[in-house]
Amino acid sequence: MPTEVTMPQMGESIFEGTITRWLKKVGDPIEKDEPLFEISTDKVDAEIPSPVSGIVRETRFPEGATIQVNTVVAVIADAAQAADAPVAAQPAAKPEQAAELQPGAESAARAPVAEEAPAQAEDAGARPARYSPLARRMAKDNNIDLDQIEGTGSEGRVTKEDVLRYLEQRESASALSTASPVPETPTPAAETKVPAAKGISVPAAPPQASAAPPAPLPGELVPLTKMRAIIAQRMAASAQTAPHVHTVFRVDMTRIVQLREHEKVKFEQRNGVKLTYMPFVAVAAVLTLRKFPIVNASLEGESIRYHQNINLGIAVALEWGLIVPVIKQAEERNFLGIARSIADLAERARGKRLKPDEISGSTFTLTNSGIFGEEFGTPIINQPDSAILAIGGLRKDPVVLTDEHGNDSIAIRSIQHFCLGFDHRIIDGADAGRFMNEFKKTLENWNQEID
């Protein structure tokens, strides 16, 4: 029997996925576990492997179609079956399947089973509406009646995109009624400094199997990708939700630079992972967060959630977008454990092999915008975190040093700027200053084991 390949469910709250690219065409041979197609959801982009070896006999949806989970999207036949049966041509895109993805809205394309849902939904007036957990939380934080929002998700489900669109419409109406200018919100182009939501920490190259799209021509109108639309929505929502404040500290990294230069070759030989600066910063952040739990907290309605664990988001810049893998329970890992986790998550992010739960649940985020040469960035908070730390560029500067006798001298030191962006609703400037002072001391007086 031919094997049917279905749209997988990439997490408990995921009900549909968008086919972004077919990696195999009808008639192509494929091996078991070889990638068949790429999908994009509101949590992760991933390559979906074939469950069996054989010949691609049928692909039922075009690229760009948004399909409900568990819907058959392709059929794989073994060599004998493929020889006996005619090859099914890939169907042309239906108008609703070829609809362009717009920011803040789901694609109109749906699987055939989903096209029957509206008739059922019309008779279900007494049935309780379905809302995603994030939509419920956003509604509570923004005092929204979810019954006023039309859902565009599966079976009329209200998603976070629906809530974001409702907020934008409400704010636009408010701005018009008061005749006051609408404040500017961050554009997607500015997001090279921030998480998706949800920052950039590890420079990442695209996988060899995913060639970068051609550069757009001047004057060309290019629709947003699924990932870029989600980034835009989350960044605008974060900027609208949290009053952002930033504080910048200048840190002398000379001690760590010297330690890394002395140990990097032996460290890689012993442990099989390169010794970069990121683990030093991550460990210092974790040690400091343990002393200042308010920076690792989140606002929930009228209460503050002090998280039991430190789940450290390490934002990664990809050729096709931005993603924030999370090191769960980072406080339980030593330096080597964090270094290995950073390298592993970054590598799997490049290969689109991350699982949904590996890019959710962060409580604090690191973003390394300094890899592009800037002094420091002022990042947008990765919701629902209350703080994000941007890492600036590392450079040598002349510095005035004072010895124990009060004598001044000028020396060349390795200097790096760190910018803490924090939610002023729950973190005061004094808390942020004390946190950054302790973080600075930890790096400048480094005394932690690296193995």
d(CA 131, CA 137): 10
The DSSP symbol for 284 reads: H
Q: Which two tokens stand for residue 418?
A: 């760190």
Q: Which two tokens stand for residue 232?
A: 């835009």
Comparing CA positions, the residue from 229, 449, 183 lying closest to residue 338 is 449
Helices (DSSP H) in 94-159: which residue ranges? 112-115, 117-122, 133-141
Comparing CA positions, the residue from 305, 170, 302, 321 lying closest to residue 231 is 321
* CA-based radius of gyration for the chain: 25
Side chain identity at 272, as an amino acid letter?
G
Comparing CA positions, the residue from 46, 297, 338, 331 lying closest to residue 201 is 338
- Stretch (H or E) spanning 68: strand 66-68
**Residues belonging to the active site:** 424, 428
Three-state DSSP at 185 gives coil
Phi-psi region of 437 (alpha: psi -120 to 50; beta: other; left: phi over 0): alpha
Q: Which two tokens stand for residue 46?
A: 């991933």
Q: Is the backbone peptide bond immediately before 379 cis, with ω within 30 degrees of 0?
A: no
Phi-psi region of 117 (alpha: psi -120 to 50; beta: other; left: phi over 0): alpha
Q: Which two tokens stand for residue 286?
A: 């974790």
d(CA 350, CA 437): 34
**Are 424 and 244 a contacting pair, CB within 8 Å?**
yes
d(CA 286, CA 443): 12
Residue 378 backbone dihedrals phi, psi, to 5 degrees? -115, 90
For Cα atoms 415, 420, 424, give the angle at the middle one, nearest 5 degrees: 155
The DSSP symbol for 42 reads: S
**Are 81 and 31 a contacting pair, CB within 8 Å?**
no
